[in-house]
Structure 1
Amino acid sequence: MSIDEIINSISALPENSRSRLKKHITEIRYPKHFCLMEANKVIPFIYFIKKGIIRAYASTGENDITFWFGSEGQTVISMKSYVEDLPGYESIELLEDCELYKLETGSLRKLFNEDIHIANWGRKFAEKELVKTEELIISRQFKTASERYKDLVHDKPDLLRRVQLGHIASYLGITQVSLSRIRADVK
């Protein structure tokens, strides 16, 4: 997915503003299993996924709990680092070789002060991230694991072909055995 498509999916920008923003974005590549963000560290970057799959997880000591997957066109961010310049609680691992766009948070903040269109784009970005978080919380609180699995099949069918079942089970908050039962029931 191109950076122009990703920027416009957040909110359309006038050409001049989009060009200013793009001057601060670089394209990078990392291999599968690369740790893009580490828990308990301030992450001064925002990433946009050009190609690949990523997971966010928190470690409990005994195991990792996956709570988010990202794929082409999505944003990868530690909101705590972005908003408060404080260490985030999540780690981000690449589940495939990935091509990403990278934007330094400090550069983006400077652009917010210089260009009202970019500032409004940033507001829309934060609002969309908030809505995604709200949807995730509501899903976790009010839907069964089976309903969450069906939502995943409906909303992100490609994810099920590209991600290990152990990560999917963790994301759904169940064991792999329970996931196997749910998958058998859904078929």
Structure 2
Amino acid sequence: MEIDQILDAIYILPENSKKNLEKYITEVSHPKNLCLMRADTIVPHIYFIKKGIVRAYASAEDKEITFWFGKEGEPVVSMKSYVEDKPGYENIELLEDCELYKLETESLRKLFNEDIHIANWGRKFAERELVKTEELIISRQFKTALERYKDLMKDKPDLLKRVQLGHIASYLGITQVSLSRIRAEIRF
């Protein structure tokens, strides 16, 4: 996915503002299994996924709990680092070879002060991330694993083909055996 499409999906900028923002964005590639962001570190940049899939997870009691997947067009950000310049709590692992767009947070903050359109883009970016977090919390609190799996099938069906079942089970908060049961139930 091209950077213009990704930026426009967040908030449509005037062409001059978009070109100014794009000056600070670079393309990077990283191999599968790389830990792009580590918990307990300040991450001084944000990424947008051009190609590939990533997962966010936290470690607890010697196991990894996946709580988010990102794919083409989506941002990859440690909100705690982005908003407060404090260490984040998530690890971000690349599940495929990835092509990413990278933007330094400090450069973006500078642009916020110089261009009201980019500042509004940043506000919309943060609002969208807040809504995604709220939806995730509500889903985890009020939906069953079966309902969450059906949502995944509806909203991101390609993830089911591209992500290991162990990560999907972790995301749903269930074991792989329970996931197998859910998948068998849905097939019939």
Shorter-chain TM band: over 0.9
* Residue matched to 1:88: 88
Alignment of 1:119-138 (within 5 A): 119-138=119-138
- For each residue in 1:85-136, what CA deviation from the matched residue of structure 2 results, as whole angstroms up to 9, or x when unmatched? 0000000000000000000000000000000000000000000000000000
Task: Tell me how far apart the structure 2 counterparts of residues 171 and 143 of structure 1 sit (CA, whole Å).
Answer: 13
Corresponding residue number in structure 2 for 1:67: 67
Equivalent in the alignment of 2:177: 177
- Separation in 2, partners of 1:148, 1:30: 30
Superposed, which structure 2 residues align to 1:161-172 within 5 Å?
161-172=161-172
- Deviation of 1:61 after TM superposition, in Å, equals 3.7
Runs of 5+ unmatched residues, structure 1: none
CA deviations on 1:154-179 (whole Å, 9 max, x unpaired) are: 11100000000000000000000000
Q: Distance between the aligned counterparts of 1:20 and 1:184, measured in 2? A: 51
Q: List 4+ stretches of structure 1 deviating above 6 A.
A: none
What per-residue deviation string (whole Å, max 9, x for no partner) do you get for residues 13-50 of structure 1?
00000000000000000000011000000000000000
Q: Secondary structure of 1:8's match?
A: helix
d(CA) in 2 for partners of 1:123, 1:154: 28
| Matched residue type, 1:177 | V
Q: How far apart are 1:62 and its partner, in Å? A: 1.3
Tell me the SS of whatever aligns to 2:158.
helix
Report the equivalent of 1:116. 116
Amino acid across the alignment from 2:175: T
Determine the structure 1 residue equivalent to 2:78: 78
- The one-letter code of the counterpart of 1:123 is R
Once residues 120 and 152 of structure 1 are traced to their aligned partners in structure 2, the CA distance between those partners, rounded to angstroms, is: 30
What count of residue pairs does the alignment treat as equivalent? Answer: 187
Q: Which SS does the other structure have where 1:103 is aligned?
A: strand
The amino acid across from 2:100 in the alignment is L
Counterpart-to-counterpart distance in 2, 1:161 and 1:14: 37
Query: TM (normalized to structure 1)?
Result: 0.99
* Gap runs ≥5 in structure 2: none
Deviation at 1:7, TM superposition (A): 0.2
Tell me how far apart the structure 1 counterparts of residues 134 and 92 of structure 2 sit (CA, whole Å): 20
- Residue type of the alignment partner of 1:176: Q
